[in-house]
Structure 1
Amino acid sequence: MAVATGTGTETASRSTRTNRPVGLRNLGTALTAWLTRPLASFHLLLAVFGLLTVFGLVMVLSASSVDSFNQAGSSYSVFVHQLMYCAIGATVFYAALRTPVWLLRRFSHVLLALCLLLLALVLTPLGFYANGAQSWFVVAGVSFQPVEPAKVALALWGAHVLVTKRALLGQYRHLLVPVLPAALLMFTLVMLQPDLGSTAILGIVLLALLWFAGAPLRLFAVMALGAVTGGVLLAVAAGYRMARLVSFLNPGADPLGNGYHALQALYALADGGLFGKGLGQGWSKWEYLPNAHNDFIFAVIGEELGFIGCAMVLMLYGTTAYVGMRIAARNTDPWIRLVAATLTTWLVAQAAINIGYVVGLLPVTGLPLPLISSGGSSVVTTMVVFGLLANFARHEPEAIAALRSLGPGRIGRLLRLPTPAPYRPPVRKRPAKTSGPTTRPGSGPSRSKSPRSGPAQNNAAQAGRQSSRRSGDTRGARGTSRKQPSRRQAFRTQ
């Protein structure tokens, strides 16, 4: 009976494997084999980056056509500006892809200081006030928001400090100083604009740095308590923040006022259904949904492309999370690991916050959807982040070995990318060995005036070594012998 039972089980499992669709099995096998290739992370990241960029341009054109025509007399006004920002972003993406990793780390403090200076200058009359915040510089008609590159600077510099002090991170003063004071200074400058959404993203960058650096959980409990307390105080201090919080808890209480944005976004998602009304056929962009091409573009996606379009966007961001964490896990450079994980957490968290307040799970914060919403500084900075992640993907040990042995490949030759250098851990200096107190001039009998030692001196040295062994102290014996310095000389020559 036991043999029959085992045979039946084996037959059942074999039939289960046989009943699986052949196409799905072949697809899973091919995907697994492709992911094991050395440059799979690099190619997958480029694919996600290209899809998000093209999809964002199409949706910006669809969502902004009505508003562009009303404002500028052309349905392509916002789209042309977005196309220009994407061209600038592609340039800085390529620059970030080619920049050596050691150069990024060495000058991260310079980038942080420059961003802090810009955040301070934007609060002066040089800054431009719009939408209730003084957060922009406007040069030749082009707006620039300094808080966007400040997020990248905090990630690069914070990772450099934490990796440099990784042997001392068990002590709170080394874990938090100087990263926490610099971050708090940046939070203060951004809140003076005021910009609560960007401050929240900066807080996520700080938490990601500390989390992936191995900070204890009780520290996050304290920081979460402080963040909640600070958020409540900020909401009470400003009336419009309290109104947003109340409208989030009950958007139907003021459907034509503070709850208007949230309700119109939900109506647009509901109208889309499963397959949507069709690209360009949505009604919410006809002045029903404010900021349709920026903060609430996900609602337009749901209305025109339906649940299928929303699921595709979620899949693209999920793939971004997977490939970013894969790059962090497969690298051996601790700085690359920390920066890649932090930047990936920032991108995915910002996308989650934007989608969360569109579907009514979070209060409205005004954060754009990365690479999809219209906006200059956000698009350019997000492309810089993707360029850094692509650069880090080429620094995986398997990727470096493949690039050095097989050549740069078609994409590398097309982009003229340099071959990355392998990571070499820093050489730790060994402490100098002490040879005993008898090395001082004139401190013991080993200091002889003649260059050679006679038989009597050798006998005395041997007697000294025997007595020191009996007493348990061998340092004095080594110090009195003239034949022992060979070990010290060998150490010096290493």
Structure 2
Amino acid sequence: MLSPLTAWLTRPLASFHLLLAVFGLLTVFGLVMVLSASSVDSFTSAGSSYSVFGKQVLYCLAGLVFFYAALRVPVKLLRRISLPVMVACLVLLVLVLTPLGTEINGAQSWFYVGVSFQPVEFAKIALAVWGAHVLVTKRALLTQYRHLLVPVVPAALLMFALVVLQPDLGSTVTLFIVLAALLWFAGAPLRMFGVMLLGGITAVVVLAMVAEYRLARLTSFLDPTGDPSGSGYQAMQARFALADGGLFGRGLGQGWSKWQYLPNVHNDFIFAVIGEELGFVGCLMVLVLYGTTAYAGMRIATRNTDPFIRLLSATLTTWLVGQAVINIGYVVGLLPTTGLPLPLISSGGSSVVTTMLVFGLLANFARHEPEAIAALRSLGPGRVGRLLRLPTPAPYRPPGRRRPRQSTPPSRPGAKSSGTAGARRGSTTRARGTRNGPGSRAQTRGGHR
């Protein structure tokens, strides 16, 4: 006998509704934690405890617009605009290195046009969409290395170089995750990932050696107690906050780390506030939400028949959950600090908007599952589809195979085609007469008798 959860998951639109539920819970939970974690810093800098929270609400409203647009965009249009969007993101990554860009926290990776935004956040999605389109288009040739690697890998390396020049090591790591996920789910051989891993480790070591602050992060990870008041201060304070929370935490809004003890507490280290105020139970709830996101995203990828949707869904899910794992990993001390936000929970404009855009794409792809399309066409759009006025997705139709052209024998210059066809028909008739001739003559003789 099926359990209620298992029975619910067998429904045609279960992936869509599950993803919407996780998206709503992460968004609301993130707003609550941003308000709690930023209240002291907001009051100190702006005289109001709601300064950072108000901006976060505006970013979420803007992200909902992108979420709705991604939910409605046709898959064919998404593939058609992937190359122009990819080129536009590369141009923005070049322009941000010019005086048009703005430097914040030592990285020139921002544009300021009334509001500040990071083009690299949108470049991650552009690389995933364009890379999936190229690899699916060339899927019959991916057994050859030159078709597997070109042009996706050179374009990704160019993007890596532009981001490293900002410098932004955290975004470079997430771009590497996007590229690795594209190649993995496209079926690249395992030895290629060994080479990529060796190259990535070498690049991290070299980048750490050429920049003093990166080397300090690496040494503080290896020995956090070596400089507890300097490079290891953030990591140590994050662990103290997690230990102070215990099982159930000190209570929402009752944490001490936000009182200037932990820098960037509402950005990169908000997971430490969750552990301090909500305890192990709160941290476990966050892990369950991201685990459910991984399950829903991979379920969408496996239940679709469109190879583009399969590849892009798996890649976006890997990137989203991978970034959460990296953020939680360096807060608890398992990874070096990279400055990546916790998706949909940390405060920030570009990160929240692009994460909502990713959830919109995944929700769109969930409605493209064959069972979901059949249900939407037979039973109607449902409550959510009717409320959001979502169009019924078109079923996937694989491209037809091209038939080889039949070669025709060369004819004399000026010869008529009808005569040639007649001659061919005549020769065919004579050949049949030759094969059936003896039997025909025998029957004729028998008839005369």
Q: TM-score, normalised by structure 1?
A: 0.85
Partner of 2:27: 53
Alpha-carbon distance in structure 2 between the residues aligned to 1:451 and 1:33: 64
Report the alpha carbon displacement of residue 48 of structure 1 after superposing the two structures with TM.
0.1
Identity percentage of aligned residues: 75
**What does residue range 58-137 of structure 1 map to in structure 2 within 5 Å?**
58-137=32-111
In structure 2, give the amino acid aligned to 1:224: L
**What does residue range 288-299 of structure 1 map to in structure 2 within 5 Å?**
288-299=261-272
Gaps of 5+ in 1: 1-24, 467-494
Alpha-carbon distance in structure 2 between the residues aligned to 1:452 and 1:39: 60
**What does residue range 324-343 of structure 1 map to in structure 2 within 5 Å?**
324-343=297-316
Equivalent residue for 1:357, pick from 310, 330, 346: 330
Equivalent residue for 1:374, pick from 330, 347, 363: 347
Alpha-carbon RMSD across the aligned residues, in angstroms, is 2.3
Report the alpha carbon displacement of residue 239 of structure 1 after superposing the two structures with TM.
1.1
**What does residue range 472-483 of structure 1 map to in structure 2 within 5 Å?**
none
3-state SS of paired residue (1:387): helix
Deviations 1:319-360 (A, max 9, x none): 000000000000000000000000000000000000000000
Alpha-carbon distance in structure 2 between the residues aligned to 1:237 and 1:61: 38
Q: Does 1:262 align with 2:232?
A: no
In structure 1, give the amino acid aligned to 2:355: T
Alpha-carbon distance in structure 2 between the residues aligned to 1:457 and 1:247: 88
Q: Does 1:188 align with 2:161?
A: yes
Partner of 1:170: 143
Question: Residue 281 and residue 452 in structure 1: after superposition, are their counterparts in 2 closer, same or farther (change >3 A)?
Answer: closer
Partner of 1:20: none
Equivalent residue for 2:256, pick from 274, 283, 286: 283
Q: Which has the higher contact order (CA 8 A, sep 6+)?
A: 2
3-state SS of paired residue (2:154): helix
Report the alpha carbon displacement of residue 450 of structure 1 after superposing the two structures with TM.
9.7
Report the alpha carbon displacement of residue 447 of structure 1 after superposing the two structures with TM.
9.8
Question: Residue 461 and residue 79 in structure 1: after superposition, are their counterparts in 2 closer, same or farther (change >3 A)?
Answer: same
Partner of 2:410: 440
3-state SS of paired residue (1:251): coil
Report the alpha carbon displacement of residue 461 of structure 1 after superposing the two structures with TM.
5.3
Report the alpha carbon displacement of residue 139 of structure 1 after superposing the two structures with TM.
1.0
Deviations 1:39-84 (A, max 9, x none): 0000000000000000000000000000000000000000000000
Alpha-carbon distance in structure 2 between the residues aligned to 1:172 and 1:53: 41
Alpha-carbon distance in structure 2 between the residues aligned to 1:447 and 1:290: 84
Report the alpha carbon displacement of residue 240 of structure 1 after superposing the two structures with TM.
1.0
Q: Does 1:43 align with 2:13?
A: no
In structure 2, give the amino acid aligned to 1:185: L
Deviations 1:92-120 (A, max 9, x none): 10111011111111110011011001100
Alpha-carbon distance in structure 2 between the residues aligned to 1:459 and 1:87: 77
Alpha-carbon distance in structure 2 between the residues aligned to 1:453 and 1:382: 69
Report the alpha carbon displacement of residue 442 of structure 1 after superposing the two structures with TM.
3.8
3-state SS of paired residue (2:112): strand
Deviations 1:220-244 (A, max 9, x none): 1111111111111111111111111
Partner of 2:440: none
Partner of 1:415: 388
Alpha-carbon distance in structure 2 between the residues aligned to 1:457 and 1:346: 66
Report the alpha carbon displacement of residue 181 of structure 1 after superposing the two structures with TM.
0.5
Alpha-carbon distance in structure 1 between the residues aligned to 2:431 and 2:267: 86
Q: Could you say which structure has the larger radius of gyration?
A: 1
Report the alpha carbon displacement of residue 457 of structure 1 after superposing the two structures with TM.
7.2
Partner of 1:218: 191
Partner of 2:211: 238
Alpha-carbon distance in structure 1 between the residues aligned to 2:153 and 2:433: 61
Report the alpha carbon displacement of residue 440 of structure 1 after superposing the two structures with TM.
1.4
4+ residue stretches of structure 1 with deviation over 6 A?
A: 446-454, 456-460, 462-466
Alpha-carbon distance in structure 1 between the residues aligned to 2:78 and 2:35: 35
In structure 2, give the amino acid aligned to 1:386: F
Alpha-carbon distance in structure 2 between the residues aligned to 1:227 and 1:355: 21
Alpha-carbon distance in structure 2 between the residues aligned to 1:222 and 1:116: 26
Partner of 1:155: 128
Partner of 1:489: none
Q: Does 1:203 align with 2:176?
A: yes
3-state SS of paired residue (1:143): strand
3-state SS of paired residue (2:225): helix
In structure 1, give the amino acid aligned to 2:141: L
In structure 2, give the amino acid aligned to 1:391: N
Q: TM-score, normalised by structure 2?
A: 0.93
In structure 1, give the amino acid aligned to 2:61: A
Gaps of 5+ in 2: 437-449
Partner of 1:251: 224
Question: Residue 447 and residue 298 in structure 1: after superposition, are their counterparts in 2 closer, same or farther (change >3 A)?
Answer: closer
Partner of 1:145: 118
Alpha-carbon distance in structure 2 between the residues aligned to 1:453 and 1:417: 60
3-state SS of paired residue (2:360): helix
Alpha-carbon distance in structure 2 between the residues aligned to 1:452 and 1:198: 70
Alpha-carbon distance in structure 1 between the residues aligned to 2:428 and 2:72: 66
